Structure 1
Amino acid sequence: MNSLKPAIFFRKFLLKAILNISALAVTAIGAAQNSNYKFPFQNPNLSFEQRVDDVVSRLTLEEKVAQMLNAAPAIERLGIPAYDWWNEVLHGVARTPFRVTVYPQAIGMAATFDTTSLKIMADYSAMEGRAIYNEAMSMGKNGQRYVGLTYWTPNINIFRDPRWGRGQETYGEDPFLTAMLGKAFVNGLQGNDPKYLKAAACAKHYAVHSGPEPLRHVFNATVSDYDLWNTYLPAFQELVVNANVAGVMCAYNAFRGQPCCGSDVLMTDILRNKWKFTGYVTSDCWAIDDFFKNHKTHPDAASASADAVLHGTDIDCGTAAYKALVQAVAQGKITEKQIDVSVKRLFMIRFRLGMFDPASMVPYAQTPTAVLESAEHKAHALKMARQSIVLLKNENHTLPLSKNIRKIAVLGPNADNSISVLGNYNGIPSQIVTALQGIKNKVGTGVDVVYERGLNFTNDTLLEYADVSYQYSFEGKKGFKAEYFGNKELSGVPVLTRIEDNVDHLWQEGEIVVGNLKAYDFSARYTTDFTANNTGDITFELDADDGYRFFVDGKEQLNAWTRNRWGAKTFKLPTEKGKTYRLVVEYYQGDGKANVRLRAGHFKKSDFTALSNRIKDADAIVFVGGISPQLEGEEMKVDYPGFNGGDRISILLPSVQTELMKALKSTGKPVVFVMMTGSAIAIPWETQNVPAIINAWYAGQSAGTAIADVLFGDYNPAGRLPVTFYKGDKDLPDFNDYSMENRTYRYFKGEPLYGFGYGLSYTTFTYDNLKVPATVNGRNNNTVSVRVTNTGKMDGEEVVQLYISSVDKNVKAPIRSLKGFQRIFLKAGESKVVQFELTPQSLSIADDKGISKPIPGKVLISVGGCQPDKLTKASKKTTEATIQIKML
């Protein structure tokens, strides 16, 4: 017998005894810790998984179902507070009652081609969101919309067609750019704490969704597997698989005959099974109702809700369709255990956000309101506004303008339009700088700045407003009797009644209106007597969000008692001198911010010749035009020519703006066209005839400062187009066709007006010494380097872009694809070597099953400040080399 065996046995026995004693000690400690908590899920020492299992096990079926609505109610018996999942942070915290920092619209941030800037923006926005949440909770505002930490951003749909009104919310038309910017956003917003989320991002709208807006509730998108995997899915895959995004929002439309939120392919096969997504999924708001009301794929709410949950949709936003899940369980359409899966996902997010832990344990729970609009955040908003501006044309060095000018004329519908610079899905900052104000601030009091609006976006007949406030009175008191109601029906006793000088209000949703009344589902009635001071007529303009009615002497003259975002309407009242007319404005607010304003004046047709003569002595003319979120956006009612339901019918600049610029050019003075837009605009005449054009997007709270900095040379522009600017409508396929054939720079066979990735500078750059391996391993990363030199006389930034294209034209592949970009700064005369890592993914094309396979044969590598063509290669703005891909 081996003498060592007893000793070994004794040591094993002793070790086991020690472990057992330790386990008992741990159990005792745990029991002591648990004694401080009524329920285990309240114990922060347990794992999130244990706590989630515990809390869900304590819920009734009805309580579980209620937690699957975006407005989840409190469960008082368990101490679970109410929570509304619905919040937005597209370019700064949106729709909050607090004043916040507003960055450029998403499409403008995409034009920066700067992932670092975007990540910082998301980080700052998450900080402001945390401050708002902390403050709201301290004020007992549990369950209020737009103060939570689950943000339904970013919008990573591919902007396949410039007519789509919501394209402004995206990062453009390229899957790689969208993926990289989206990942930067998610990383910045969610933070890097190993345990807690700073905020929860949500990739939307999954997955084949990009207009038309009027058809989004009934549309059935059908695309090839090639387009699905190579265009529509890559950004979502990047955010789900590599960025670990917390949430996904499924789209309104159907995909291959099934609503997206109940799609076998998208939701089950790809998202949950192939990509192993374990986060939560929310429907787009009211999308579950679309199953049985619009798509007609399901007979009722119970069937639709059960199917959506079985496909992994955890939240029903905007409606109460999911309440029918109780009925669906009773009918055997779904089991309670299957509902548990969704409820656990939802509670996991709330636990990861630290909502059930002491504030001392959560690193973000002490974020103070002092971070809102902090100096650092406002400086970054200005930086990104500058970075986003794209110089499209600069003939004969028209720009920068001289700071020694004596007089400058600033004209156009966007020159002093604070709505345009804020874009949509926006917050409200304390200060907004329009283009006009930015120019005034830049040149100071020594320069004569002349401003005339000149025209509207689509017509030349302006309502010249008059101050008629002295003509309003109610029962002997100047102004309006204002009555506010805590419902949308103007019913019952008003919450408050008072006299107000004018009807001119703008509230963010949830902001205090009067007393304790919040700007959410409320209504108001404004009554006054208007006494005419002359015989003739006067036109009243009522500008309001949501529903409104306008009465004169008891007769209804205007009615939009339905959602009518940014819909200004007018009524001409014939008047007799000295006669009094009773005016009544009725208004209600639904979703979003509240806006109601009554103004009066007289319509007058602009005389462009006379206008040009008035400003012909100016040293420079700046026309600030384009379009606006008042015209393009989400499912909105717009009655102007060229626009429909939030989308555009034509991508041409409204012709009236071209006509005014023709008159301005006739003055012989330098004309600069500053274009604001959330999408590509066709400007063929302007490209040929206006010497300087810059695209300023909707650049946020500091838009005017950034525009003035570029106009006068205090900032050297380096923005790049994240979308193709086509020459006209004839370049576009059918809007309803989701095939990528002849769409975007990757497949467009024509010649664009301005290509994707295009943008000029006040200096010049050249490229040389491109180094690529002659043969690359298709399974490993490969390095590409190039030398970039600032050959001009001005310091500046350059966006270095790497494209690949297959040499073999028989290979099914894009014409070219962006696979790398870096924004760098170079002093005049400075050179820098820029390196890119070509991954196996970047040298591959997905097959019909979503499996990436290397591009066969030779691949052309192009590196430069834009896409390659004969001109850019001749001027050394781009350089190229061919490589052979082999599976070594």
Structure 2
Amino acid sequence: MSYSQQTRRNRALSSVSTLLLSFLLCISKPSNAQSSSPVFACDVAGNPSLAGFGFCNTGLKAEARVTDLIGRLTLEEKIGFLVSNASGVSRLGIPYYNWWSEALHGVSSVGRGSDFSGLVRGATSFPQVILTAASFNISLFQAIGKVVSTEARAMHNVGQAGLTFWSPNVNIFRDPRWGRGQETPGEDPTLTSKYAVAYVKGLQETDGGDPNRLKVAACCKHYTAYDLDEWKDVSRFTFNAVVNQQDMYDTFQPPFKSCVVDGNVASVMCSYNKVNGKPTCADPDLLSGVIRGQWKLNGYIVSDCDSVEFMYTRQHYTNTPEEAVAKSMLAGLDLNCDHYAGQHAMEAVKTGLVNESAIDNALSNNFATLMRLGFFDGDPKNQPYGNLGPKDVCTAENQELAREAARQGIVLLKNSPGSLPFSPSAIKTLAVIGPNAHDVNQTMIGNYHGEPCKYTTPLQGLTQTVSATYSPGCSKVACTEADINSATALAASADAVVLVMGLDQTIEREDLDRVNLNLPGKQQELVTEVARAAKGPVVLVIMSGGGFDITFAKNDEKITSIMWVGYPGEAGGLAIADVIFGRHNPSGRLPMTWYPQTYVEKVPMSNMNMRPDEANGYPGRTHRFYAGETVYAFGDGISYSKFSHRLVKATRHLSLRLDESHVCQSSECQSLDAVGPHCESVVEVHVEVSNVGDREGSHTVLMFTSPPAVHRSPIKNLVGFEKVGLGKSEEVTVRFKVDVCKDLSVVDETGKMKVALGEHVLHVGSLKHSLTISI
């Protein structure tokens, strides 16, 4: 979302005139992040006259308080609350408030609501989301969210953070070239949905569990079918995503629905792009109809930054700025990130494009959210979490969780006998090579980052265990020249080699999509030549958000191990060393498919279809629909130990109960609507998991189902997953509860959920079980 807006502004700041203007603006409207005390309304202790205002009366219900507040505002004052830089009303004791804070994988400095210039100089920087998702550990997702919200509240209490955080990103990582795929939990709707719910709960839920209170307010973005930034000549600001109803409700919508329905998220952000010809932020069906109507959002809907403006200036969807503001508000938008509504809403009212009641409705959603956060309850130091402060940020426990999250996410993709884990006593000389091995530009923390508490590079992490020599090999990840001679000489003299290669934010990020799946620059040549020269085992460590075609390395016997480490966060160097030296047994699994380069050569990134089309050779997308060759598949990942699965309990046949008047009682049906008494059916599947290897470790248990071939159903669906820890020779029973209408349903061609009748095949590892559903 707004990371690009900030980048554009940074470029503009090169002019002296803009610098002066920004300086004047900062004087006239100081950011709450620059304050040494929190920003809040209803400071009754400091101004007793405020006690007479109903909206400051904590004894009243939130709805009554919101109504009282709106009734006291002039139209001009109301409009000041429609934008992210809310102007405040001094006569009512309401200060300026900036809605825009970020917390994708830690409190971020992106946005204007948070910064690190005060008492708090850093916050825990967890792995970028794609790596955390690779842990397939729901409790970890929520634990990270809880730490982030604690640090956010602590920063808010000293005036360095807001209360509204526009995270997480729950878009589907549909195409491996997408620069923002690193921000997401991957390509699968089930994984993404479960991550979204857990992280939102970690951010929002209070210790007392009161649903009417929020620790901080989360925001699920970018709604919807948004997964292209800048690819060739296609821009997200003007892109029209043509999406059929089947793909919409089968792939793109489920994470957002889970956010709202199961996570009770406080906000949803609509995206820049159009969907089937309409800007998402101006589509009443998507906003008022689905988010607010069907899913019953308890919160506010915010635009991506400048998206309302772009409806007029770039998409030419409206004829005037006022019309853009009016259409978005009438569609259900409550808050405009940036300035456009503030500039043009008054004229929109005057010309009859929108009436004041629509503004009141938007403000009621915005203010109700701030009420739940305690913004109108006076000094937060006298509220729950008021005791939090700098001492609660970057604690040893929080930093250890960042290290553990990286360890759990790291995916071991290849491991030849005699390679990993290394024994420190056997490695007298270690060669560490690669542009990401000792990057001091903080590549490991990805985008939407803040200031990390500490930062340990892979080289630094490895040298805490053994002595190492280092050569970058490439001066940057996209090097046009490689220092192969120095690197090969180093490799030839060492007992083992660790190559740390991959990408950084110059190759994949917001506003920048890739055009191929190859290692950039001269990296492949460097890797191949170093492996050829090495006398000992060679470990290739890939740091990236998206996958690669590294078939050359997979098939090279001299490259004995391959690890994918995502962007592993502030403790990434320590976590990588923990895995390489066997202090941690890897258990991460790939949350996205790694395709061969030939895939992207024949698949335009702008084609939104998920299902294959044999007529034109379109192969489909993600593990659910793509049946072609892969370099590595969704769910791939190996361990230093071995695990076996045995089916303990499972139903073979399930007969669904239907009303006597049901149409399928008298005619043959391939599927049933996923509503009705038959939806009470739940199937229990128990799988015994045994550690038959020689070391303890965690194991990621993934359960898939292959549904009957009706309604162009997926090849397989991820039903559920669980992370279990097992000692040597230990076994545990993993119990899955399979909800027939939720877990065994498919989406038909019109976007409706259906229970497919016939044989469903359940998979856990190599274990398969057939379940027949009939009526």
Q: TM-score, normalised by structure 2?
A: 0.85
Aligned equivalent of 2:457: 434
Aligned equivalent of 1:718: 587
From the superposition, tell whether residues 850 and 614 of structure 1 become closer, same or farther in structure 2 (CA, over 3 Å): closer
> How many angstroms does 1:811 deviate by?
4.2
Verify: 1:57 aligned to 2:74, yes or no: no
Verify: 1:727 aligned to 2:596, yes or no: yes
Checking the alignment, whether the CA contact within 8 Å between 1:401 and 1:712 is kept in structure 2 is yes
Question: 5+ residue gaps in structure 1?
Answer: 1-33, 137-145, 462-604, 636-645, 865-877
Verify: 1:373 aligned to 2:387, yes or no: no
Give 1:272's aligned amino acid: R
**3-state SS of the aligned residue for 2:754?**
strand
From the superposition, tell whether residues 101 and 372 of structure 1 become closer, same or farther in structure 2 (CA, over 3 Å): same
Verify: 1:657 aligned to 2:523, yes or no: yes
Q: Distance in 2 between matches of 1:85 and 1:186?
A: 17
* Structure-to-structure mapping, 1:114-153, within 5 angstroms: 114-136=137-159, 147-153=161-167
> How many angstroms does 1:361 deviate by?
5.9
Q: Distance in 1 between matches of 2:383 and 2:738?
A: 39
> How many angstroms does 1:853 deviate by?
1.7
Checking the alignment, whether the CA contact within 8 Å between 2:437 and 2:500 is kept in structure 1 is yes
Question: Given the alignment, which residue of 545, 555, 558 partners 1:688?
Answer: 555
Between structures 1 and 2, the one with greater strand share: 1
Verify: 1:832 aligned to 2:732, yes or no: yes
Q: Distance in 2 between matches of 1:412 and 1:831?
A: 40
* Structure-to-structure mapping, 1:450-849, within 5 angstroms: 450-458=469-477, 460=479, 606-635=482-511, 646-654=512-520, 656-667=522-533, 668-689=535-556, 690-730=559-599, 733-741=603-611, 742-776=620-654, 777=656, 778-779=678-679, 780-806=681-707, 808-839=708-739, 840-847=741-748
Verify: 1:424 aligned to 2:453, yes or no: no
TM-superposition CA deviations, 1:697-744 (whole Å, max 9, x none): 100010000000111111100001000011224356210011112100
**3-state SS of the aligned residue for 2:540?**
strand
TM-superposition CA deviations, 1:466-501 (whole Å, max 9, x none): xxxxxxxxxxxxxxxxxxxxxxxxxxxxxxxxxxxx
From the superposition, tell whether residues 832 and 209 of structure 1 become closer, same or farther in structure 2 (CA, over 3 Å): same
> How many angstroms does 1:849 deviate by?
5.3
Aligned equivalent of 1:412: 434
* Structure-to-structure mapping, 1:77-116, within 5 angstroms: 77-95=91-109, 96-97=115-116, 98-116=121-139
**3-state SS of the aligned residue for 2:386?**
coil
Aligned equivalent of 2:225: 208
Question: Given the alignment, which residue of 299, 302, 315 partners 2:322?
Answer: 302
Checking the alignment, whether the CA contact within 8 Å between 1:302 and 1:322 is kept in structure 2 is no
TM-superposition CA deviations, 1:523-547 (whole Å, max 9, x none): xxxxxxxxxxxxxxxxxxxxxxxxx
How many residues end up aligned between the 2 structures? Answer: 674
Identity %, equivalent residues = 37
> How many angstroms does 1:196 deviate by?
1.6
> How many angstroms does 1:617 deviate by?
1.3
Q: Distance in 2 between matches of 1:248 and 1:454?
A: 44
Q: Distance in 1 between matches of 2:254 and 2:50?
A: 48
> How many angstroms does 1:782 deviate by?
1.7
> How many angstroms does 1:770 deviate by?
4.2
> How many angstroms does 1:613 deviate by?
2.2
Checking the alignment, whether the CA contact within 8 Å between 2:420 and 2:581 is kept in structure 1 is yes
> How many angstroms does 1:256 deviate by?
1.1
Q: Distance in 2 between matches of 1:314 and 1:292?
A: 18
Q: Distance in 2 between matches of 1:360 and 1:292?
A: 44
Give 1:616's aligned amino acid: A
Checking the alignment, whether the CA contact within 8 Å between 2:178 and 2:229 is kept in structure 1 is yes
TM-superposition CA deviations, 1:316-364 (whole Å, max 9, x none): 1123344211111111111101110001111111110001114366312
Q: Distance in 2 between matches of 1:335 and 1:243?
A: 33
**3-state SS of the aligned residue for 2:545?**
coil
Q: TM-score, normalised by structure 1?
A: 0.74
> How many angstroms does 1:395 deviate by?
1.1
Checking the alignment, whether the CA contact within 8 Å between 1:650 and 1:729 is kept in structure 2 is no
> How many angstroms does 1:407 deviate by?
0.6
**3-state SS of the aligned residue for 1:305?**
helix
Aligned equivalent of 1:574: none
**3-state SS of the aligned residue for 1:230?**
helix
Q: Distance in 2 between matches of 1:718 and 1:456?
A: 32
Verify: 1:395 aligned to 2:261, yes or no: no
From the superposition, tell whether residues 83 and 651 of structure 1 become closer, same or farther in structure 2 (CA, over 3 Å): same
> How many angstroms does 1:235 deviate by?
0.7
> How many angstroms does 1:242 deviate by?
1.6
Aligned equivalent of 2:659: none
TM-superposition CA deviations, 1:657-715 (whole Å, max 9, x none): 11111211222332110110011111110111121100011000100000001111111
> How many angstroms does 1:401 deviate by?
1.2
Aligned equivalent of 1:334: 354
Checking the alignment, whether the CA contact within 8 Å between 1:770 and 1:880 is kept in structure 2 is no
Checking the alignment, whether the CA contact within 8 Å between 2:50 and 2:93 is kept in structure 1 is no
Checking the alignment, whether the CA contact within 8 Å between 1:415 and 1:434 is kept in structure 2 is yes
Give 1:371's aligned amino acid: D
**3-state SS of the aligned residue for 1:396?**
coil
Q: Distance in 2 between matches of 1:135 and 1:670?
A: 51
**3-state SS of the aligned residue for 2:690?**
strand
**3-state SS of the aligned residue for 1:415?**
coil
> How many angstroms does 1:816 deviate by?
0.2
Q: Distance in 2 between matches of 1:398 and 1:308?
A: 58
Q: Distance in 1 between matches of 2:342 and 2:608?
A: 31
> How many angstroms does 1:397 deviate by?
3.4
Q: Distance in 2 between matches of 1:232 and 1:814?
A: 14
**3-state SS of the aligned residue for 1:100?**
coil
Give 2:547's aligned amino acid: A
Aligned equivalent of 1:311: 331
Question: 5+ residue gaps in structure 2?
Answer: 1-47, 110-114, 612-619, 657-677
> How many angstroms does 1:275 deviate by?
1.6
Give 2:57's aligned amino acid: N
Q: Distance in 2 between matches of 1:691 and 1:346?
A: 55
Aligned equivalent of 1:41: 55
Q: Distance in 1 between matches of 2:219 and 2:189?
A: 17
Verify: 1:219 aligned to 2:239, yes or no: yes
Deviates more, 1:810-819 or 1:404-413: 810-819
Verify: 1:66 aligned to 2:88, yes or no: no
**3-state SS of the aligned residue for 1:648?**
coil
> How many angstroms does 1:38 deviate by?
2.4
**3-state SS of the aligned residue for 1:281?**
strand
Checking the alignment, whether the CA contact within 8 Å between 2:436 and 2:477 is kept in structure 1 is no
Q: Distance in 2 between matches of 1:695 and 1:392?
A: 7
From the superposition, tell whether residues 850 and 811 of structure 1 become closer, same or farther in structure 2 (CA, over 3 Å): closer
**3-state SS of the aligned residue for 2:743?**
coil
> How many angstroms does 1:398 deviate by?
0.6
> How many angstroms does 1:810 deviate by?
4.4
Verify: 1:293 aligned to 2:307, yes or no: no
Verify: 1:362 aligned to 2:232, yes or no: no
